[in-house]
């Protein structure tokens, strides 16, 4: 796992009620959020996809996770 991936997983662990049980999958999801943004998706779409995607995340947890992904992997996008 590269440093950015570990940083992202560490940030996820600071979100109340959110646990990254598979760090590699969590990191891949974080990178996928940035790919979506690069391809024209929005932050809100990423949050909604996380809530709707059988993750069990609340909207607040999903928003915090998306913000963490943006901050670590693609800070050029607003969060």
pLDDT tier at 1, thresholds 50, 70, 90? low
In a domain, 15, yes or no: no
In a domain, 55, yes or no: yes
Q: How many domains does the chain contain in total?
A: 1
**Integer angstrom CA distances of residue 25 from 35, 62, 78:** 15, 15, 23
Instruction: Read off the pLDDT of residues 50-63 as tens digits, 9 standing for 90 and up.
Output: 998 877 889 999 99
78 φ, ψ (degrees, to nearest 5): -70, 145
What confidence score (pLDDT) does residue 55 get? Answer: 76
In a domain, 79, yes or no: no
In a domain, 54, yes or no: yes
Residue range of the domain that includes 30? 3-9+23-73
In a domain, 18, yes or no: no
Whole-model pTM: value is 0.92
What's the whole-number mean pLDDT along residues 5-23?
Answer: 93
Residue 78 has pLDDT above 90, yes or no: no
Indicate the burial class of 33 (C-beta count within 10 angstroms; 0-12, 13-18, 19 or more).
buried
Dist CA 33 CA 67 (whole Å): 10
In a domain, 50, yes or no: yes
Dist CA 12 CA 9 (whole Å): 5
């Amino acid at each position: 796992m590269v440093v950015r991936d570990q940083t992202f997983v560490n940030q996820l662990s600071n979100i109340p009620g959110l646990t990254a049980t598979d760090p590699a999958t969590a990191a891949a999801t974080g990178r996928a959020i940035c790919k979506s943004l690069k391809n024209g998706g929005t932050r809100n779409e990423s949050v909604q996809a996380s809530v709707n995607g059988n993750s069990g995340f609340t909207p607040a947890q999903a928003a915090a996770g998306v913000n963490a992904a943006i901050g670590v992997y693609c800070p050029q996008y607003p969060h």
